Structure 1
Amino acid sequence: MKKYIILTLFIAVLSTGCKKLINGPDHSTLSTGAIFESARDLDNILYGAYGAIASGHTVAGNWKLFSELLADHVIVNPLITGSTPEDPYDQVYKRALKQAEYADNWRIGYTAIQNANTVIYAIENNLITKEIDPEYSDVTRDKMLGEAYFIRGLCHFELVRFYGKQYQFSTPSTPTSTGIPSPNNSLPNSGVILRTKPSINITKADDIIGQGRATVEETYQLIISDLKKAEDLLPASSLQGLSARRGRATNYAARAILARVYFQQNDFVNAKLEIAKVIGDVPGSITTAYTLVRANAAGATPSLANAQANVIAPFSSTGVITARPTEVIYDLVGSTVVPVNTVLKTKYVQVASTTEAQLAVSATFIADANFNANDTRLTRLITTVASPGGPRYYTRKYDQAAMNVPVIRSVEMILDRAEINAMEASTLPNGSAQHLAALADLVQIRSRVIVNAAAAYPTATTINSTQILAEVRKERIRELAFEGDRFHNLRRLGALGVITNIPNGDRTGAEVLSWNSNKLLFKIPNAEIRSSNNVVQNPD
């Protein structure tokens, strides 16, 4: 007896130009036999999920932009045409999230999840077998199942960071012990809708519109479970198995995103375990393939040209042909035909001296980063434009044509590891193992971005154990600028008790909002509220 499935699948435009999947909700019932005839059919649905996370509305665009706009290091440039009160980017910057409903962020995120659910269902219910399709080997099966879990975990995580509350502990976590989760994590409707099944055998409307929002605790439990499954199932290289190509998830990508999840929770014990799986556990070095890009030999002082090449390399890869920059653990791969960086480039890049970008770098960022004048992350990745009202600044991380968009880099793992060690070092005497470990990781980052790092920045002889934590957190500002980290990291620091409010940056006269304010939560799209019986809107 054939089973039937309702599809909400993303168009996968393949290299042949074939539109294999269905765009948007389709409430007709289709036979699974019409969808799954081979492993390649299943792979095409998975490819549609990748297309959804490579969308400018999600991982490759707005999910990076909005985290910066809500924080303090990016401004909407008031001097260019196009910034209107109705512009969603302007509304997000003003933190007017009641007006800034941006439904495609939600819809396409859940589209990727629905595609992933369809793949998981098909595999776990043996809708394709080796007898039906000889290409459907155990290796191919595990790889596709792992990719589906990876995408589902990644999307639920990004959605809860914008639409749900920050995870909290009642008793703080430390580098050596995980705290007791706060009861706030179990408040009703504090997370997002956890969609884990495709719409199969629908007999009544409540089967698809009756699901409400989970708690933050439930949301994170699913995310962690999915990423652990992905870690166990995925191969070490994306160039293995059926349809091997750049841009597909690996077990290292799953581990890195899982480390990011744990770090966002302030679960430092588990974060450090996952970080070690990605970059090793030797401070000041990376013992896996994801070493920081160095045009100069390891341990050698870089020339100016070396340092410039080092900082731009992660943002210069294009298409599947160019080699993956070693420090990029996972990226979204585009081409001149199907670019993935369109939104980031459109919003961030100054096209010419007379055409400035809509999103500019704030003066607050320049002050907070406090770059040495010769740091190539300033001189190569920031453009300064003279203005009667003072200089304006623009990032150059996304100005390469059709560039691949990095999702996570090994430098983030180093910074997380350094912060965990620095937290512990701050309670210990100078020269402790943790103090020296954090210093070694700082040196590893700084030694590749400037000709003489020891002269430019404080060294091991001048950063004591009470100063090391502040130095590591400042280095995070410099290194992960405009990559979608800032707002989420501020909320994490709020939960840790480090800050009370989200800084306003260059905003003048703006309301001061606490780190856990409801006003910083995106509104669930009205279409979801209207069509779902039990979905509760975020409060004002």
Structure 2
Amino acid sequence: MKNIKKYKKIALLACMIALNGFTVSCSSDYLETDPTTAVSEDAAYSSASNLAAIISGMHRNMYYRQNSNQGQNGQGGIMIMMDALGEDLVFPSTGNGWYVSTVRWQDQVNENASNDLYPYQFYYALIRNANLVIKNGPNVPTVNSSEETVVKQAIGEAYAFRAFCHYMLVQIYGKRYVPATNNTQLGVPIRLTPDEVPMKRNTVEEVYTQINNDLAEALSRLSSTRTSKSHFNDKVVLGLRARVALTQGNYALAASSAKLARNGFSLMSNATYTSGFNNLEGNGEWMWGATIIADQTDYFGNFGAYMSRNYNSTNIRQAPKAMNSKLFAMFPSTDVRTKVVDPTGAHTSLSLPSTFSKFPYTSQKFLSASVSDSRLDVPYMRAAEMYLIEAEALARSNDEINSKIVFNQFMQNRNPSYAGAVTTGNAYITEILNNRRIEFWGEGFRFLDLKRLNQGLDRTGANHSAVVVNNVLTVSNTDNRWQYLIPRTEINANPLIEQNPL
């Protein structure tokens, strides 16, 4: 992260550069999130180091709040939204209100809602900046092979950003990808140039085709070398390819990509698992994430200000995050993932102040730096995901034997008493999926998994408060609310865009 600090002014220029095209072409300057006039556009692309600084700034924007809403803190905020929509992240009280409208499935049905706009704004701003790097990067002057490598890396990361952001957008605002069909349903506009001319929505199939093309471009430019785990390298891009292939039902590619991606990343020990998920660089399992350095903290806007158990914020004192009690009951006490959840809510090991509300099944998976420091490392990708993608993809390819080799290796790390998978067929796939649920609790996967699997929402019989969820306990898999509405600001700026049905 040191490049972010050193070149902060140059890195943040990317948004300012893009604003020039936005305001002229379609007045969609609502997407402008972090303007600065600190340096000129020419300076931004005058050297390899400045180009790298723009990429570092984009990675910084993955965790940095770019507007006045403290609940919209980059990728971490969207991760919370994606899990708040599901059944496994439980809000035991409304607290001071953050993300409660998301829990109640109210954001995505209101085209004027701030949380309906935010993912659209966030990802397209990153895409715009990626397009600027892709356009201008080849013309950056270099004087030696080292600088050529820096430019190649920056452009490769820009392609990875563009793929990742289109992937998130099409999952949130488009209809689900249906394997073995033409997928002509509406996705999102594919933006490949930094100009912001009005565009129609591309089909879901077209968006995924572009995502895969960009991942291939990124792989052709990236190696295993990177400045920190906050950046993309070839293994992270392979991990993204595994995610995308699983979503598309391309199980052979999902399995092979996941296996390649996790090479060199070992599963963490049980002791590390219970230490607070706060050591990106030191944890051998973490493939990609964010470390928030002290002088760039967002205090009450950090991921840890909502998801940790120990930070002294109103939200955590009043509404600590809990695990679905039915999910918790599926796993034995020998499984390390149950040890970060307290069925009593007391968390005696943390010596929480008396002002902290106590609710059953609250989690201490995430621990902030201290009671007065909300920083914690934000996990975007871990090797555990690659194990579970590979196991699921092999199982769906009717290769249970090899699937169980991978799955048992993973499970025996998380639960030393696990004797091996004895389920078969659909029951075995369900076992894998339930392990995805508990493994990635709080990491932003659940809504997207439910949509990918064409499953409905079912919060019944667990520890959800009917008051908190506003009686939204079930949602059919055919409900229109699985697609966020296109934000009204985009519709006003882009006359070619078509709205999702209510």
Scaled to the shorter chain, the TM-score interval is 0.7 to 0.9
Letter in 1 for 2:439: E
Per the alignment, residue 351 of structure 1 pairs with: 310
Per the alignment, residue 264 of structure 2 pairs with: 289
1:139 aligns with 2:130: no
| Residues 485-500 of structure 1 aligned to structure 2 (within 5 Å) | 485-494=445-454, 499=455
| Residues 387-406 of structure 1 aligned to structure 2 (within 5 Å) | 391-401=359-369, 402-406=375-379
Q: CA deviation at 1:350?
A: 3.1
Q: Deviations over 1:381-433 (max 9, x none)?
A: 5574269x9952223232232332121111111111112233345xxxxxxxx
Contact 1:230 1:254 in 2 (8 A): yes
Per the alignment, residue 181 of structure 1 pairs with: 181
Contact 1:374 1:450 in 2 (8 A): yes
Letter in 2 for 1:536: E
Question: Which moves more between the two structures, 267-276 or 409-418?
Answer: 267-276
Question: Which moves more between the two structures, 18-27 or 474-483?
Answer: 18-27
Contact 1:39 1:136 in 2 (8 A): no
Relative to structure 1, is the Cα distance of residues 340 and 195 closer, same or farther in structure 2, using a 3 angstrom cutoff? farther
Cα distance in 2, alignment partners of residues 536 and 464 from structure 1: 44
Relative to structure 1, is the Cα distance of residues 74 and 136 closer, same or farther in structure 2, using a 3 angstrom cutoff? same
Per the alignment, residue 5 of structure 2 pairs with: 14
Per the alignment, residue 333 of structure 1 pairs with: 291
| Residues 349-388 of structure 1 aligned to structure 2 (within 5 Å) | 349-351=308-310, 356=317, 358=319, 360-367=321-328, 370-380=330-340, 384-385=344-345
Letter in 2 for 1:67: M
Match of 1:266 among 249, 274, 287: 249
Relative to structure 1, is the Cα distance of residues 228 and 19 closer, same or farther in structure 2, using a 3 angstrom cutoff? closer
Provide the aligned length of Structure 1 versus Structure 2. 448
Letter in 2 for 1:65: I
* Structure with higher helix content: 2
Q: CA deviation at 1:193?
A: 2.0
1:419 aligns with 2:404: no
Cα distance in 2, alignment partners of residues 352 and 198 from structure 1: 40
Contact 2:190 2:207 in 1 (8 A): yes
Pairwise CA RMSD of aligned residues?
3.1
* Structure 2, gaps ≥5 residues long: 25-36, 66-71, 348-356, 370-374
SS at match of 1:181: coil
Cα distance in 2, alignment partners of residues 104 and 424 from structure 1: 37
Q: CA deviation at 1:224?
A: 1.0
Contact 2:274 2:339 in 1 (8 A): no
Cα distance in 2, alignment partners of residues 66 and 450 from structure 1: 29
Per the alignment, residue 250 of structure 1 pairs with: 233
* Structure 1, gaps ≥5 residues long: 1-11, 170-179, 200-207, 239-243, 280-287, 295-306, 426-433
Q: Deviations over 1:312-337 (max 9, x none)?
A: 4682216xxxx442211212232122
Cα distance in 2, alignment partners of residues 277 and 340 from structure 1: 35
| Residues 77-156 of structure 1 aligned to structure 2 (within 5 Å) | 77-78=92-93, 80=95, 82-83=96-97, 89-96=99-106, 97-99=108-110, 100-102=113-115, 103-124=117-138, 126=139, 128-130=140-142, 133-134=143-144, 137-156=147-166
Letter in 1 for 2:175: K
Letter in 2 for 1:336: A
Contact 1:166 1:516 in 2 (8 A): no
Question: Which moves more between the two structures, 415-424 or 344-353?
Answer: 344-353
Cα distance in 2, alignment partners of residues 93 and 412 from structure 1: 25
Contact 1:212 1:534 in 2 (8 A): yes
Letter in 2 for 1:522: Y
Letter in 2 for 1:98: V
Contact 1:58 1:108 in 2 (8 A): no
Cα distance in 1, alignment partners of residues 198 and 282 from structure 2: 44
Per the alignment, residue 444 of structure 1 pairs with: 409
Contact 2:48 2:147 in 1 (8 A): no
Per the alignment, residue 519 of structure 1 pairs with: 481
Relative to structure 1, is the Cα distance of residues 370 and 59 closer, same or farther in structure 2, using a 3 angstrom cutoff? farther
Cα distance in 2, alignment partners of residues 374 and 104 from structure 1: 40
Per the alignment, residue 40 of structure 1 pairs with: 49
Letter in 2 for 1:483: E
Per the alignment, residue 502 of structure 1 pairs with: 457
Relative to structure 1, is the Cα distance of residues 314 and 423 closer, same or farther in structure 2, using a 3 angstrom cutoff? farther
Q: CA deviation at 1:77?
A: 3.1
Cα distance in 2, alignment partners of residues 104 and 55 from structure 1: 13
Give TM-score, length-normalised by structure 2.
Answer: 0.80
SS at match of 2:380: strand
Match of 1:237 among 225, 236, 240: 225
SS at match of 2:223: coil
Relative to structure 1, is the Cα distance of residues 530 and 406 closer, same or farther in structure 2, using a 3 angstrom cutoff? same
Cα distance in 1, alignment partners of residues 211 and 433 from structure 2: 26
Per the alignment, residue 530 of structure 1 pairs with: 492
Letter in 1 for 2:390: R
User: What is the percent sequence identity of the aligned residues?
Assistant: 22
